[in-house]
Structure 1
Amino acid sequence: MSSKSARVMSDDAASVDVPVGGAVMKGRSGLARIWYAAGYSAAGLKAAYRGEAAFRQLVLLNLLLIPLAFLLDVSRVERAVLVAVVFLGLIVELLNSAIEATVDRISFELHPLAKQAKDMGSAAQLLALCLIGLVWAVILIP
């Protein structure tokens, strides 16, 4: 057993090595699995906030637009859509940052497929930002 794995008893009473640190959560179930998953999610949000200027800018945009959505005289469904699209912008930025980090982890070498992956992530973010603008405009402009 390596120093980075733990011995866990499986359902059929055989023991298996399960990597520690979140690589595989098959050794955890129930509330422990949820607890560790939440911790990994928090670490991801923290990493994005610290390392990605675009994510920080979108957080600021969310801090402005979400309260504004609750101040506007719109229906509950419209308010929900206004809030949902700005959250979608954050989600797409997290995925875009994950793509970039993965490509950079593999190699900093310039490669057409690496460029294509990064460009597609960037395009997804552009479309998410356009969607935010479009939805807010459609709901707010009479």
Structure 2
Amino acid sequence: MQKNTGIKRILLAAKYSWFGLIAAWKHEAAFRQEIIGLVIAVAVALLLDISLIEKAALIGSVLFVITVELMNSAVEAVVDRIGLERHELSGRAKDLGSAAVFVAIGLALLVWASILWTYFI
């Protein structure tokens, strides 16, 4: 089996990533909601009279939530692929993925609150 290298590998990786984003949009309501949140966050961040670093932190924190959501969705897809019967480890894997999203959202809220606090004070 021949391995793809160089630019071909990069292009194939980009194609598979695009397929993943399309699958997330089609099958994951939370992903669609977070993308809408990202659009709003980018608009608000760009309108605020804050530094470029602060804008990047605001937008980056929301992108981090989306990243963790994609990883959580991947875990859930694998667990569901293995089987739909209830199993303690399957439930734990899904709960841990959900907890990761929860923590990422908490971080985003902290970043936004910290920057907006200094903006309005």
TM-score by length of 1: 0.81
Matched, 1:120 2:120: no
Q: Equivalents in 2 of 1:82, 1:74: separation in Å?
A: 10
Specify the alignment match of 1:14 in structure 2: none
Tell me whether 1:69 sits opposite 2:42 in the alignment.
no
Question: What's the CA shift for 1:133?
Answer: 1.1
- Which structure: larger Rg? 1
Partner residue of 2:56 out of 56, 62, 80: 80
Partner of 2:67: 91
Partner residue, 2:4: 28
| Greater per-residue helix proportion | 2
Q: CA RMSD in A?
A: 0.8
Amino acid of the residue matched to residue 29 of structure 2? A
Deviations 1:84-133 (A, max 9, x none): 10100110000000000000011111000000000000000011111111
TM, length-normalised to structure 2: 0.94
Segments of 5+ residues of structure 2 without an aligned counterpart are none
Of all paired residues, the percent bearing the same amino acid is: 47
Greater fraction of residues in strand? 1
1:64 aligned counterpart, secondary structure: helix
**Structure 1 gaps, min length 5:** 1-16, 19-26
The alpha carbon displacement at 1:29 in A equals: 0.7
- Structure 1 ranges of 4+ moved more than 4 A: none
